[in-house]
Amino acid sequence: MADALLKSEFLGEDDHGAAKTYVLWRPTVKTGLMSWLTTVDHKRIGFLYGISALFFFLVGGLEALFIRIQLIVPNNHFLSAQQYNEMFTMHATTMIFLSIMPLSAAFFNFIMPLQIGARDVAFPRLNAFSYWVFLAGAIILNIGWFINDGAPNGGWFGYTPLTTRLYSPNHAIDMWVMGLQLLGVASIAASLNFIVTIINLRAPGMTMMRLPVFTWMTLVTAFLLVLAFPAITIALVELMMDRLFGTNFFEVSNGGMPILWTHLFWVFGHPEVYILILPGMGVISEILPTFARKPLFGYPIVVFSGASIGFLGFGVWSHHMFTTGMGTMGTSAFALTTMVIAVPTGVKIFNWIGTLWGGHIVMRTPMLFALGFIWMFMIGGFSGVMHAAAPADAQQHNSYFVVAHFHYVLIGGSLFSLLAGIHYWFPLMFGRRVSEFWGKVSFWVVFAGFNITFFPMHFLGLDGMPRRTFTYDHNMGWDTGNMIATIGAFILGIGVGIYFTVMIYTFFKGEKVGKDPWDARTLEWSLPAPPPEYNYRVIPTVHARDNWWYEKHHRAEVAKENAEHARAEEAHGGIHMPFQSIYPFIAAVGVLIGAIGVAIVDPDPGPGLIGKKLAVSLIGFVIMFVAICLWSLEGNGGYHIHPKAESET
Amino acid sequence: MSTAAAGAIDHHHDPTTSTGIPNKKLLMWAFLASDCMFFGCLISTHLIYRLHPPPGVPAARQIFSIELTSFSTFILLMSSLMMALAVNAIQKGNLRSMRASILTTILFGSIFLGCQVYEFNNFVYEKHLTITNSILGSTFFTLTGTHGTHVAIGVLWLTLMYVRSFKPSGPEAAKGTWLLLSFVHLIVFAATLVLSMYLVLHFTRAAQASGFSGGTCLSFVGSQYPAILGAITGFLALRWFAQPRGAVDFDQHNAVDVEMMGLYWHFVDIVWIVIFTAVYLLEYIS
A633:B179 CB<8 A: yes
Contact between chains at B27 and A123 (C-beta distance less than 8 A): yes
Residue A11 has pLDDT above 60, yes or no: no
Q: Is residue A560 part of a domain?
A: yes
Quote the number of domains for chain A: 1
φ/ψ of residue A318, rounded to 5: -75, -5
Statement: residue A537 has pLDDT above 70: yes
pLDDT digits (tens, 9 = 90+) for B43-64: 999 999 999 988 888 888 999 9
pLDDT on residue A380: 95
Closest C-alpha to A491, from A439, A451, A436, A437: A451
Q: CA A43, A49, A51: angle at the middle one, nearest 5?
A: 100
- State residue A16 phi and psi, 5-degree precision: -85, 125
Q: CA A221 to CA A313: how far, in whole Å?
A: 11
On whether residue A455 sits in a domain, the answer given is no
- Residue A261 confidence (pLDDT) above 90: yes
User: Pick from B9, B57, B178: which is nearest to A255 by CB?
Assistant: B57
Phi, psi at residue A584, to the nearest 5°? -55, -40
* Contact with chain B for residue A243, Cβ under 8 A: no
pLDDT of residue A462: 94
Q: What type of residue is A127?
A: N
At residue B12, the pLDDT reads: 80
Domain that holds residue A619: 2-362+514-641
Among B13, B41, B136, most A C-beta atoms within 10 A, so best to mutate, is B41
Q: Provide the pLDDT for residue A567.
A: 86
Q: How confident is the model at residue A647 (pLDDT cuts 50, 70, 90)?
A: very low
How close is the nearest chain A Cα to the Cα of B254, in Å?
6
Say if A254 is an interface residue toward chain B (CB within 8 Å).
yes
Mean pLDDT for the stretch of residues A191-208: 95
Residue A416 falls within a domain, yes or no? no
Residue A532 has pLDDT above 50, yes or no: yes
For residue B38, the chain A residues in CB contact (below 8 A) are 230, 233-234
Q: What average pLDDT score do residues A164-193 get?
A: 94
Q: Which of B15, B41, B174 lies at the smallest CB-CB distance from A264? A: B41
Render pLDDT for A277-303 as a digit per residue (tens, 0 to 9).
999 999 999 999 999 999 999 999 999
* Tens-place pLDDT, residues A109-122: 999 999 999 999 99
Where does the pLDDT of residue A639 fall: very low under 50, low under 70, confident under 90, or very high at 90 and above?
Answer: confident
CATH of the domain at A555: 1.20.210.10
pLDDT category, A22, cuts 50, 70, 90? Answer: low
User: Would residue A135 count as lying in a domain?
Assistant: yes
User: How does pLDDT run across A382-435, given as a tens digit for each residue?
Assistant: 999 999 999 999 999 999 999 999 999 999 999 999 999 999 999 999 999 999
Please state the φ and ψ torsions of residue A432, each to the nearest 5 degrees. Answer: -130, 155
Please give the residue of chain A at the shortest CA–CA distance from B163. A633
* Domain presence at residue A477: no
Residues 188 through 207 of chain A touching chain B, CB cutoff 8 Å: 188, 191-193, 195-196, 199-202, 206
> Do B1 and A255 lie within an 8 Å CB cutoff?
no
As a whole number, mean pLDDT of residues A366-381 equals 95
Given a cut of 80, is residue A19 above it in pLDDT? no
A61 neighbors A493 (Cβ within 8 angstroms): yes
Contact A47, A110 (CB under 8 A): yes
What tens digit of pLDDT does each residue of A586-610 get?
A: 999 999 999 999 998 887 765 666 7
A294, A296, A274, A170: which is closest to A229 by C-alpha? A274
Q: Which of A4, A192, A202 sits opposite B30 (nearest CB)?
A: A192
Please check the confidence at residue A266 and state whether its pLDDT lies above 80: yes
Rg (CA), chain B: 22
Amino acid at A483: M
Q: Is residue A214 part of a domain?
A: yes
Residues A168-198 as b/e (b if ≥16 CB within 10 A, e otherwise) read: beebbbbbbbbbbbbbbbbbbbbbbbbbbbb
Instruction: Kindly indicate the confidence band of residue A129, based on its pLDDT and cuts at 50, 70 and 90.
Output: very high
Most A CBs within 10 Å: which of B21, B138, B180, B249, as the mutation test of the A interface?
Answer: B138
Separation in Å, CA A114 to CA A128, A179, A200, A402, B116: 17, 31, 14, 38, 49
pLDDT at res. A607: 62
> How much is the pLDDT for B2?
37
Torsion of CA A421, A425, A426, A427, to 10 degrees: 150
Averaged pLDDT, A123-147: 95
| Complex-level ipTM beyond the 0.90 threshold | yes
Is A87 part of any domain? yes
Examine residue A578 and say whether the peptide bond preceding it is cis (omega within 30 degrees of 0).
no
pLDDT at A102 over 80: yes
User: Does the pLDDT at position A1 exceed 50?
Assistant: no
- Whole-number Å distance between alpha carbons of A54 and A145: 19
Give me the pLDDT at residue B253, please: 86
Give the CA distances from residue A147 to residues A296, B176, B245, B283, in Å, rounded to whole numbers and listed in that order: 51, 44, 55, 48
pLDDT by residue (tens digit) across A548-601? 999 999 999 999 988 888 888 888 778 888 889 999 999 999 999 999 999 988
- Residue pair A158/A265 in contact (Cβ under 8 Å)? The answer is yes
Quote the minimal CA–CA distance from A233 to chain B in Å. Answer: 7
pLDDT value for A609: 63
pLDDT at A27: 82
pLDDT for the residue B177 = 82
A122 assigned to some structural domain: yes
Q: Name residues of chain B where pLDDT drops below 50.
A: 1-6
